[in-house]
Structure 1
Amino acid sequence: MRLRTRSRSAGPPTGIPDAVPRVVHQASSWCLAYPDEALVERLPLLAAAVDELPAGRARDGLRTFLDHAAATPLAQLQSDYVHLFDLSRKQALYLSYWTDGDTRRRGEVLAGFKERYRASGFLVDTRGELPDHLPLVLEYAALADPDDGAALLQEYRASLELTRFALIEAGTPYAGVLEAVCATLPGPSPADKAAVHRMAAAGPPAESVGLDAADPRLLPLTESGRS
C-alpha cells in the first residue's frame, strides 16, 4: 500500500502539532497492515519515531505493539493477523463495515472514500483492499491530506472506538495501535461500548443484502451487539 502524487509532494511536517498525529497515523498504518518482511525491517525506525512522541496514550499504545512485534517471529505475527482480522468479523478494519454492514448504501459510502482520495490529488494503490480499510485511511491522513484524513477518521470515530474495544476484549497488542489512533482525535475516548452507541446516535441500517438479522456485521452499533 503506497500513495503517489501527481502534482504535489506531501513533504515533511512543518510543526509539532501537525507532526505528532501524522507520525502516529503513518506508524499505525504500517502496524495494522498485514505483517511482512518490510514491517520487520521498519521496526527499529518505527520504535525510534515512536520514542520521540510526547509521553502519553499514543506513544504507549504503539510501543506496546512494537515491543510485541519485535519479540515475535514473523510467521507467528502473520498467523495471528489472519486469525484476528481475516477469520473474524469482530475486529473488522473496514470503517464503513461497522456502520453500514453489507448494504446497498455501503457501495455509495465506499465511492465517497475514493472521491476524497482523488480530490486530494493523489493516486492510491489499494492493493486490492477496499478504500475504507483502516491502514489505507491512516496513510491518507499521514501523507496525502492530513486535514481531510483527520476529518475522515473523526467521522468514523464510532467505528474506531468499537474496533478498539473489540481488540481489547481479544487481548491482543493490536489494541495499543487503536489506542494510539483514537488518541489523535478530539476529546476523550468513550469509557465503554454504551458510550460509543450514544456517540454513533444511530444503529446500523435496517436494509441488508443476504444477511439475517443476527449477522454480527449488523450489530456492533446496537446494544444487542455487545459481547
Structure 2
Amino acid sequence: MTDRTVHLTASVLLSYPDERLIEALPLLNAAVAELGPGEPGRRLAAFLGHVSATPLAELAEHYVATFDLKRRCSPYLTYYTYGDTRRRGMALLRFKHAYQAAGFEVADELPDHLGVVCELSGRGATEEAVRLLREHRAGLETLLRALREEGSPYAEVVTAVLATLPPPTERERQAALRLAEAGPPAEEVGLEPYGHEALVRVRPGTPGGSR
C-alpha cells in the first residue's frame, strides 16, 4: 500500500496544477504524513510544502516552462529511449496494452506520461506500473538529472517515485549511463498510430491555450 500511495500522490502532483490541486492539498498532506520518515514521504512532503507556499499562477507557469517547453524534461518515458521515431510508436502501444490488460483506459494523455503510469499503480495495478517504470528506468534517471539541473522542485516527486523501485541492476545502470551520454534519437518520422500532434500539449496561459 505504501508504494501505491506514493504513486497515487505523484500522479496528482505530476498533473497540470490547477484549482483541483489546491483543493486536494489536505488529502495529499494526510496521505503523505502516513508514509512515515522514509525518502518517498520526505520528498513528497517537500514538494507539497512548495505547492502550499507558491501562488497557483506561478506553479502553472513553472509546469509549462519545465515539462512543455523543455524537451530534456519530458514527462513521456519512451521519449528518452526512442526520441520521435517510429520505434517509439510501438513502445507506446506496449503501454496501452498494459493498461488495457489492467482495465485502465487513458483518454487525454499519451500512455507513457509518468503521471499516468503512477495513476495506474494508484488504481491498484501496482505490479504492472512498476514493471513499466523499471523498463524505462534509464529515462526516469535522465529526467531526474535534468530536473535537478534546472533547479525544479519536481525533482522531489521523481525522486520519490524512483525510491519505490528495487535497486537498479547493473544492466539498468549501464543503460542510464549510455542514455546520459548519447541522448534520445533525433529522427522525426511520426508516431503512428499516435500522431505527432499528440505530443503537443497546449497549456492555459500559452499562446493558443484554452481550457
1:80 and 1:164 mapped to 2: Cα distance?
A: 16
Alpha-carbon deviations, 1:118-175, whole Å to 9, x = none? 11123x2431x21111111110122141111111111111111111111111111111
1:102 to 79, 84, 88: 84
1:90 aligned onto 2:72? yes
Q: Any gaps of 5 or more consecutive residues in structure 2?
A: 191-211
2:144 and 2:60 mapped to 1: Cα distance?
A: 20
> What is aligned with 2:18?
36
Give yes or no for contact 1:96–1:106 (8 Å, CA) kept in 2. Answer: yes
- Residue type at the aligned position of 1:154: R
- Structure 1 residue 27: deviation in Å? 0.3
1:81 to 42, 54, 63: 63
1:59 aligned onto 2:38? no
> What is aligned with 2:200?
none
1:139 to 99, 109, 119: 119
Q: Any gaps of 5 or more consecutive residues in structure 1?
A: 1-18, 212-227
1:185 and 1:46 mapped to 2: Cα distance?
A: 21
- Residue type at the aligned position of 2:59: L
Give yes or no for contact 1:126–1:136 (8 Å, CA) kept in 2. Answer: no
Change (3 A) 1:58 1:189: farther
1:61 and 1:210 mapped to 2: Cα distance?
A: 38
- Structure 1 residue 95: deviation in Å? 0.2
TM-score, normalised to structure 2, is 0.81
Describe the SS at the equivalent of 1:90: helix
Aligned pairs (5 A) from 1:47-196: 47-122=29-104, 124-127=105-108, 129-187=109-167, 196=176
TM-score, normalised to structure 1, is 0.76
Alpha-carbon deviations, 1:161-195, whole Å to 9, x = none? 111111111111111001100000001699xx988
1:69 and 1:36 mapped to 2: Cα distance?
A: 11
> What is aligned with 1:208?
187
- Residue type at the aligned position of 1:150: V
2:92 and 2:136 mapped to 1: Cα distance?
A: 13
2:42 and 2:81 mapped to 1: Cα distance?
A: 28
- Structure 1 residue 112: deviation in Å? 1.1
Of residues 138-147 and 77-86 in structure 1, the stretch that sits farther from structure 2 once superposed is 138-147
Give yes or no for contact 2:35–2:41 (8 Å, CA) kept in 1. Answer: yes
- Structure 1 residue 114: deviation in Å? 0.7
The runs of at least 4 consecutive aligned structure 1 residues that moved more than 2 Å come to 193-196, 200-207
1:46 to 17, 20, 28: 28
Describe the SS at the equivalent of 1:162: helix
Describe the SS at the equivalent of 1:185: coil
Give yes or no for contact 1:161–1:189 (8 Å, CA) kept in 2. Answer: no
2:185 and 2:81 mapped to 1: Cα distance?
A: 11
